[in-house]
Structure 1
Amino acid sequence: MKNQTLQLAVLTTSLAVFSVMAASYYVGPGGRDDQVGSIEAPFATLERARDAVRAAKTDGVAGPHDVVLLPGRYSLSASFKLGAADAGTASAPVVYRAAEAGTARLLGSTAIPAAAFQPVTDAAVLALLEPAAAAKVLVADLAALGFPAQKEIIARAGGGTTELPELFCNEERMQLARWPDTDWAEVETIIDGGAVPRTGKATASEHPGGIFQYKEDRPARWSVERGIWLRGYWCFDWSESVIKASMLDSAQKRIGLSAPHTYGLRQGNPSPRRWYALNLLEELTRPGEFYVDAAANKLYFWPPADLATARVSLTTNKGALIELDGADDVWLQGLLLEEAGSGISVQNSSRVRIEGCTVRNMHHLGIELRGGREHEVRSCDVHDTGTGGISLFAGDYKTLTRGDSLIENCHIWRFAVHKLTYSNGITLAGVGNTARHNLLHDAPHMAVGGGGNDNIFEYNIVRHVCLAADDSGAYYKGRNPARRGNIVRYNFWHSIGKPMGHGVAAVYFDDGDGGDAVIGNLFFRCGDPGKGSFGTVFSHGGHDLLADNNIFIECKRPLGSSPWNDKRWRDAMNSKLYQDRLTKEVDIRVPPYTTHYPALVGYFDEKLKEPRVSPARRNLLVMCAEPKSGNWQLDDSNWITEEDPGFVDINGGDFNFKADAAVFKHIPGFEPLPLAKMGLYVDRWRRQVEREEWTLPPPRPLPPLKQLRAAARGPVAPKGNAPVFGATRIAAAPRIDGVVDEAEWGGLPAAGAMVLAHHYDGTAVPANRQSRAWLRYDDQALYVLVRSSIDPATSLSGNTWGSDDAVELAVRPLPAAGAALAPAAQRPLISVVRAYGNGFLWFGMTPDAADDPLNQEPAPCAFAASRPAPGEWVAELAIPFSKIDLAAGQPGRCAFNITVRKAKDDLWVMWESTRGHSFNADAAGILEWK
Structure 2
Amino acid sequence: MNKKNLFIASIWLLLLCGSSQAQTFNPVTYSPAVKQIEVDGNKCGLQLYVAPEGNDNASGKSPATAFKTLEKARDEVRAIIKNGKLPKGGIAFNLLKGNYPLTRSFELNNFDSGTENAPIIYRPYNNDDVHILGGVNIKNSSFLPVTDPAVSARIDPAAKGKIIQLNTRSLGLTRTGVFPDIFNDGGGIFEIFVNDTRLPLSRWPDEENSTMKEVVNPGDKNIPGSFIYRGDRPKRWMNSKDIWLKGFWRVGWEEPAIKVAKIDTANSQITFKAGLPNGIGSKYQRPKGSGKEEWYAINLLEEITRPGEWAIDFNTGIVYLWPPDDFKDGNIVISQLDKPVISAKNLANTAFINLNIEGSLGDGIVIEHGERCLIAGCTLKDLAGNGVILDGNKCGIQSCDMFALGKGCIAISGGNSEKLVESGNYVINNHLHDYGVLKSQYSAAIDLYSETKGAPAVGILVAHNLIHHAPRDGVLYAGQKNVFEYNEIYRCAYATADVGAFYSWLDWTIRGLVIRFNYIHNTVGGVNPDDGASGTFVYGNIFWGNRTGVWIASGPDHTIQNNIFIKNEGPVFGMDDRGVSRGYATNKSLLGKVKSINPQAAPWSETFPEMPTLLDSHPELPQRTRFSGNIIWIKKGTPLSIKMNKTNLADSGLLKTKNNFVTADDPGFTDFLKGDLTLKKGAPAYQKIPDFPQIDFKKMGLYIDKYRKRLPTAKEAGKLPSQNPWKADDNDTYFGT
Q: Tell me whether 1:464 sits opposite 2:491 in the alignment.
A: yes
Shift, 1:558, TM fit: 1.1
Counterpart position of 1:574: 586
The partner residue of 2:481 within 439, 442, 454 is 454
Q: Tell me whether 1:136 sits opposite 2:136 in the alignment.
A: no
Q: Tell me whether 1:246 sits opposite 2:261 in the alignment.
A: yes
Counterpart position of 2:297: 277
Q: Tell me whether 1:612 sits opposite 2:623 in the alignment.
A: yes
The partner residue of 2:606 within 589, 595, 609 is 595
Shift, 1:638, TM fit: 0.9
Counterpart position of 1:179: 204
CA RMSD in angstroms comes to 2.7
Tell me the SS of whatever aligns to 1:85: helix
Q: Tell me, yes or no, if the aligned pair for 2:627 and 2:658 is still in contact at 8 Å.
A: no
User: How far apart are the structure 2 equivalents of 1:609 and 1:581?
Assistant: 14
Shift, 1:612, TM fit: 2.3
The partner residue of 2:57 within 30, 34, 46 is 34
Shift, 1:597, TM fit: 1.0
Counterpart position of 2:119: 93
User: How far apart are the structure 2 equivalents of 1:228 and 1:81?
Assistant: 38
Q: Tell me, yes or no, if the aligned pair for 1:109 and 1:339 is still in contact at 8 Å.
A: yes
Tell me the SS of whatever aligns to 1:188: strand
The partner residue of 1:236 within 251, 265, 272 is 251
Amino acid at match of 2:577: P
Q: Deviations over 1:384-431 (max 9, x none)?
A: 101101110111222221111001000000110011110011113511
Change (3 A) 1:19 1:27: closer
Q: Tell me whether 1:550 sits opposite 2:563 in the alignment.
A: yes
Shift, 1:691, TM fit: 6.2
Change (3 A) 1:671 1:377: same
The partner residue of 2:272 within 257, 267, 276 is 257
Shift, 1:185, TM fit: 0.8
Q: Tell me, yes or no, if the aligned pair for 1:87 and 1:93 is still in contact at 8 Å.
A: yes
Q: Tell me, yes or no, if the aligned pair for 1:20 and 1:60 is still in contact at 8 Å.
A: no
Shift, 1:306, TM fit: 4.6
Tell me the SS of whatever aligns to 2:435: coil
Question: Percent identity among equivalent residues?
Answer: 31
Q: Deviations over 1:530-559 (max 9, x none)?
A: xxxxxx101101122001110000163211
The partner residue of 1:638 within 639, 655, 660 is 660
Q: Tell me, yes or no, if the aligned pair for 1:22 and 1:61 is still in contact at 8 Å.
A: no
Counterpart position of 2:690: 668
Change (3 A) 1:549 1:606: closer
Counterpart position of 1:686: 708
Unaligned runs of 5+ in 2: 1-40, 285-289, 450-456, 643-648, 723-730
User: How far apart are the structure 2 equivalents of 1:338 and 1:685?
Assistant: 19
Amino acid at match of 1:557: P
Change (3 A) 1:33 1:559: same
User: How far apart are the structure 2 equivalents of 1:856 and 1:671?
Assistant: 27
Counterpart position of 2:394: 374
Counterpart position of 2:646: none
User: How far apart are the structure 1 equivalents of 2:713 and 2:174?
Assistant: 46
Change (3 A) 1:653 1:696: farther
Tell me the SS of whatever aligns to 1:125: helix
User: How far apart are the structure 1 equivalents of 2:373 and 2:103?
Assistant: 24
Amino acid at match of 1:239: E
Aligned residue runs from structure 1 range 287-436, under 5 A: 287-340=307-360, 341-370=362-391, 372-429=392-449, 430-436=457-463
User: How far apart are the structure 1 equivalents of 2:434 and 2:262?
Assistant: 33
Amino acid at match of 2:173: F
Counterpart position of 1:489: 516
Aligned residue runs from structure 1 range 867-906, under 5 A: none
Q: Tell me, yes or no, if the aligned pair for 1:681 and 1:689 is still in contact at 8 Å.
A: yes
Tell me the SS of whatever aligns to 1:152: coil
Amino acid at match of 1:561: M
Shift, 1:492, TM fit: 0.2
User: How far apart are the structure 2 equivalents of 1:228 and 1:146?
Assistant: 25
Shift, 1:509, TM fit: 0.8
Tell me the SS of whatever aligns to 1:320: coil
Instruction: Please report the TM-score for the alignment, with normalisation by the length of structure 2.
Output: 0.85
User: How far apart are the structure 2 equivalents of 1:617 and 1:192?
Assistant: 49
Change (3 A) 1:58 1:616: same
User: How far apart are the structure 1 equivalents of 2:311 and 2:665?
Assistant: 55
Deviates more, 1:377-386 or 1:128-137: 128-137
Shift, 1:314, TM fit: 1.1
Q: Tell me, yes or no, if the aligned pair for 1:149 and 1:294 is still in contact at 8 Å.
A: no
Q: Larger C-alpha radius of gyration, 1 or 2?
A: 1
Change (3 A) 1:282 1:666: same
Shift, 1:580, TM fit: 2.0
Amino acid at match of 2:213: E
Tell me the SS of whatever aligns to 2:338: coil
Change (3 A) 1:600 1:41: same
Shift, 1:166, TM fit: 0.7
User: How far apart are the structure 2 equivalents of 1:470 and 1:323?
Assistant: 34
User: How far apart are the structure 2 equivalents of 1:229 and 1:244?
Assistant: 4
Counterpart position of 1:559: 573
Counterpart position of 2:681: 659
Shift, 1:594, TM fit: 1.7
Shift, 1:318, TM fit: 1.0
Tell me the SS of whatever aligns to 2:65: coil
Aligned residue runs from structure 1 range 161-176, under 5 A: 162-176=187-201
Change (3 A) 1:610 1:509: closer
Counterpart position of 1:586: 597
Change (3 A) 1:606 1:82: closer
Shift, 1:639, TM fit: 0.2
Counterpart position of 1:746: none
Change (3 A) 1:150 1:21: closer
Counterpart position of 2:16: none
Q: Tell me whether 1:267 sits opposite 2:271 in the alignment.
A: no
Q: Tell me, yes or no, if the aligned pair for 1:101 and 1:335 is still in contact at 8 Å.
A: no
Amino acid at match of 1:318: D
Shift, 1:576, TM fit: 2.1
User: How far apart are the structure 2 equivalents of 1:357 and 1:323?
Assistant: 16
The partner residue of 1:219 within 231, 234, 238 is 234
User: How far apart are the structure 2 equivalents of 1:604 and 1:451?
Assistant: 19
Q: Tell me whether 1:518 sits opposite 2:530 in the alignment.
A: no
Higher relative contact order (CA 8 A, sep 6+): 2
Q: Tell me whether 1:73 sits opposite 2:99 in the alignment.
A: yes
Amino acid at match of 2:69: T
User: How far apart are the structure 2 equivalents of 1:706 and 1:182?
Assistant: 21
Tell me the SS of whatever aligns to 2:78: helix
Counterpart position of 1:822: none
Q: Tell me, yes or no, if the aligned pair for 2:469 and 2:491 is still in contact at 8 Å.
A: yes
User: How far apart are the structure 2 equivalents of 1:87 and 1:271?
Assistant: 57
User: How far apart are the structure 2 equivalents of 1:855 and 1:336?
Assistant: 37
Q: Tell me, yes or no, if the aligned pair for 1:155 and 1:162 is still in contact at 8 Å.
A: no
Unaligned runs of 5+ in 1: 1-17, 498-504, 529-535, 698-704, 708-853, 858-930
Q: Tell me, yes or no, if the aligned pair for 2:181 and 2:273 is still in contact at 8 Å.
A: no
Q: Deviations over 1:213-232 (max 9, x none)?
A: 11121111114862111110
Tell me the SS of whatever aligns to 1:126: helix
Instruction: Please report the TM-score for the alignment, with normalisation by the length of structure 1.
Output: 0.68
Shift, 1:526, TM fit: 4.8
Change (3 A) 1:481 1:526: farther
Change (3 A) 1:164 1:154: farther
Q: Tell me, yes or no, if the aligned pair for 2:190 and 2:335 is still in contact at 8 Å.
A: yes
User: How far apart are the structure 2 equivalents of 1:258 and 1:90?
Assistant: 56
Change (3 A) 1:233 1:856: same
User: How far apart are the structure 2 equivalents of 1:617 and 1:544?
Assistant: 14
Shift, 1:590, TM fit: 3.1
